Amino acid sequence: MTPLVLWFLLSVIACALAADLPRIQVALAVQFGPEQNVSALDVTLQIDDTQSRAGRPLLQLDLNHGLTPTLRYDGDALSASDSRGTLALSYTDTNASDAQRTWVPLRDPEGQVSVGLRAVPRATNASTPSGPRIDLRADQGGAIGMATGFIPHPPADEDCPVGRRGPLAATLLGASGTVLSKSYFAVGPLKRWPSWDVAPGADERPFYVYWIGDLPYDSDRMSGIAKDIHLAISSFFGDATSPFRVFWRRVPVGYGGAGGHNSFILEWADGTAEEQSEEAVTFLLSHETIHEYALMAPTR
């Protein structure tokens, strides 16, 4: 397989548990720059919501998590339409330190609402704060990020279960209970442990590790350690079935991790291996895995 492949991510989020719950389908199409690096993701949201009305919240997006900004989508960056044609949207922002933007339609929508936007990976350098790690960032020709940093989603009380389809699509993948905003998306020349042609056995739950380029550690050894840690901790908490994904992302400076749903991301930079031993990485893997099960801040 060539290292630069047009990866088409298609994540389908369906709330089919009750007729009055919304349904949202999210399609991400990769755009390449002149050097065949991922330059942007064209995002299309298709929303079916029988309760949608003029002035009623349709989508929302946090504007920042601490020091990390999201992509915001100021002005008319979001375009919407329905069966009647163009659907004008307006938005309001909260004034909290962790602000949130909410989009509402200016008239009653009719039928399915389609919303389009372009997500451009955040430009970073050695002065960029290391976290929270929720932003969409370029990584060695690809891009990796959490949806809460770049994909508007239904209001929190209407979150939909998440599934996926599409070739070689790495999101936190395939689990019907996953919340869109906590999904990781990765596009580009992805590598995977175990390799792409290896499928889990009939009685084996999926555990995969994804990265771009070359890790500063032995990828096979550290991926095996990550799996052993996850199996031990998840079994302790009575979880014997949930799939799990680990994403590595190279950054200009620093290292650390952040959790999604049934997944987490680890960051590394040049010099990380000298600062952080294999033993320290093992501790970080344990730390992030524990966060998946032990609720440290119940109000969050």
> Quick one: pLDDT at residue 291?
87
Give the contacts of 187 (CB within 8 A, at least 6 positions apart). Answer: 7, 9, 28, 30, 38, 41, 142, 143, 144, 170
> Quick one: pLDDT at residue 293?
85
Cβ 33 vs Cβ 39: under 8 Å = yes
**Mean pLDDT, the chain, as a whole number?**
85
Tell whether the model's pLDDT for residue 12 goes beyond 50. no
Q: Which residue has the higher pLDDT, 142 or 174?
A: 142
CA distance between the termini of the chain: 42
Q: Tokens 């987490």 label which residue? A: 264
Q: Which residue has the higher pLDDT, 260 or 80?
A: 80
CA distances from 87 to 54, 93, 192, 294 (A): 10, 20, 41, 43
Tell whether the model's pLDDT for residue 297 goes beyond 90. no
Closest by CA to 254, choosing from 70, 128, 121, 135, is 128
> Quick one: pLDDT at residue 287?
92
> Quick one: pLDDT at residue 201?
83
| Phi, psi (deg, nearest 5) at residue 45 | -110, 125
> Quick one: pLDDT at residue 3?
33
> Quick one: pLDDT at residue 108?
98
pLDDT in tens, 83-118: 999 999 999 999 878 899 999 999 999 999 999 999
Dist CA 9 CA 168 (whole Å) = 8
Tell whether the model's pLDDT for residue 267 goes beyond 90. yes
What percentage of the chain's residues is helix, strand, coil (to nearest 5)? Answer: 15, 35, 50
pLDDT in tens, 153-212: 988 655 454 434 343 444 434 333 347 888 899 999 999 999 999 988 888 889 999 999
Cβ 247 vs Cβ 210: under 8 Å = yes
Closest by CA to 157, choosing from 43, 53, 262, 22, is 22
> Quick one: pLDDT at residue 157?
55
> Quick one: pLDDT at residue 202?
82
> Quick one: pLDDT at residue 22?
73
Average pLDDT score over residue span 18-23: 63
pLDDT in tens, 198-218: 988 888 889 999 999 999 999
